[in-house]
């Protein structure tokens, strides 16, 4: 199984400031035949199901604000919230879909400082 | 737009079978291009992928759960279901049904639609 790790476990950021979440996979999730990274990011607010934010490591889902961006390749990935808003308080998960079983990172909790 | 809704008992006794159904509305489960999936989340913990089914009935399960899990589909009712046998307290979780895309090679991709989730507790 591909093991996903995230750092930090939690972070507190002032409104309007940048939040950066890291995700690392135990093996590369870059598929060489199409040069795509099989990595997605989800946001989960309390009492709600996860919501897809980013797929192919950097493609924003329709309707997701452009303050959310994804980057990275191979085994190291980053989700950046450029200017944190109050509604961004949530837990963020990365997920690899390079191979089954599909696996998720443990999550990073983002709060307001 | 497509919506998913889980249903089933919220309490199951140890050693018994957990059974949940996901009803798909706003679209056909037989439309193709999607895998219909189950994911669970123990209280306060992370997400665990259980498996998926295609409308034709082909399935893929997490190996560590494969001996206890069955996912089935009923296209006439636009539903798919999950059964987990011989449950223990470790199976206590919020269970989500979800829709995932797949690519031309049949690879499971990302999950674009989730149900609201249903809490299942395993206790005597």
> Which residues in chain A have their CB less than 8 angstroms from residue B112's CB?
52, 61
Burial of B16 (0-12, 13-18, 19+ CB in 10 A): middle
A84 pLDDT tier (thresholds 50, 70, 90): very high
Residue of A48, A46, A55 whose CA lies nearest to A94: A55
The answer to whether A53 touches A79, Cβ cutoff 8 Å, is: yes
Task: Quote the pLDDT of residue B107.
Answer: 86
Q: Which residue of A has its CA nearest to B6?
A: A49
- Cα separation, A86 vs B85, whole angstroms: 42
Quote the DSSP letter at residue A54: E
**Above 80 in pLDDT, residue B32?**
no
Residue of B97, B95, B92 whose CA lies nearest to B12: B92
Task: Quote the pLDDT of residue A92.
Answer: 98
Task: Quote the pLDDT of residue B31.
Answer: 84
Task: Quote the pLDDT of residue A27.
Answer: 98
Distances (CA, A) of A76 to A6, A54, A79, B54, B113: 10, 15, 11, 31, 26
Mark yes or no for CB contact B107/A106 under 8 Å.
Answer: no
* pLDDT tens figures, B35-77: 999 999 999 999 999 999 999 999 999 999 999 999 999 999 9
A88 pLDDT tier (thresholds 50, 70, 90): very high
Task: Quote the pLDDT of residue B33.
Answer: 84
Task: Quote the pLDDT of residue B1.
Answer: 92
Distances (CA, A) of B120 to A18, A50, A58, B45, B91: 37, 18, 34, 14, 8
* pLDDT tens figures, B67-105: 999 999 999 999 999 999 999 999 999 999 999 999 888
Mean predicted lDDT score pLDDT of chain B = 96
- Cα separation, B106 vs A97, whole angstroms: 12
* pLDDT tens figures, A5-61: 999 999 999 999 999 999 999 999 999 999 999 999 999 999 999 999 999 999 999
> Which residues in chain B have their CB less than 8 angstroms from residue A49's CB?
96, 98, 114-117
Mark yes or no for CB contact A100/B46 under 8 Å.
Answer: no
**Above 90 in pLDDT, residue B106?**
no
In order, the DSSP letters of B77-114 are TTEEEEEE-S--GGG-EEEEEEEEEE-TT--EEEEEEE
Task: Quote the pLDDT of residue A58.
Answer: 98
- List the single best residue of A101, A104, A105 to mutate versus B (max B Cβ within 10 A): A101
* pLDDT tens figures, A57-79: 999 999 999 999 999 999 999 99
Owner of token pair 């997920």: A95
Distances (CA, A) of A30 to A3, A96, A104: 15, 10, 16
Owner of token pair 């889980």: B6
């Amino acid at each position: 199984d591909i093991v996903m790790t995230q750092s930090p476990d939690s972070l507190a950021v002032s409104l309007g400031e940048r939040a950066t979440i890291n995700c690392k996979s135990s093996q590369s999730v870059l598929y060489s035949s199409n040069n795509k990274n099989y990595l997605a990011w989800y946001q989960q607010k309390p009492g709600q199901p996860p919501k897809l934010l980013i797929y192919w490591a950097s493609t924003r889902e329709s309707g997701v604000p452009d303050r959310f961006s994804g980057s990275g390749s191979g085994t190291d990935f980053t989700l950046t919230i450029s200017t944190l808003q109050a509604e961004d308080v949530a837990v963020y998960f990365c997920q690899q879909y390079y191979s089954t079983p599909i696996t998720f990172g443990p999550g990073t909790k983002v709060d307001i400082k | 737009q497509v919506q998913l809704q889980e249903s089933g008992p919220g309490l199951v006794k140890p050693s018994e079978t957990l059974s949940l159904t996901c009803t798909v509305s706003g679209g056909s489960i037989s439309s193709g291009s999607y895998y219909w999936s189950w994911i669970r989340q123990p209280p306060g913990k992370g997400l665990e992928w259980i498996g998926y089914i295609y409308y034709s009935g082909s399935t893929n399960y997490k190996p560590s759960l494969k001996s206890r899990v069955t996912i089935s589909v009923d296209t006439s009712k636009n539903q798919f279901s999950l059964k987990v046998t011989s449950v223990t307290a470790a199976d206590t979780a919020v269970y989500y049904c979800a829709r995932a895309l797949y690519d031309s090679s049949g690879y499971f991709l990302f999950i674009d639609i989730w149900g609201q989730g249903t809490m299942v507790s395993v206790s005597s």
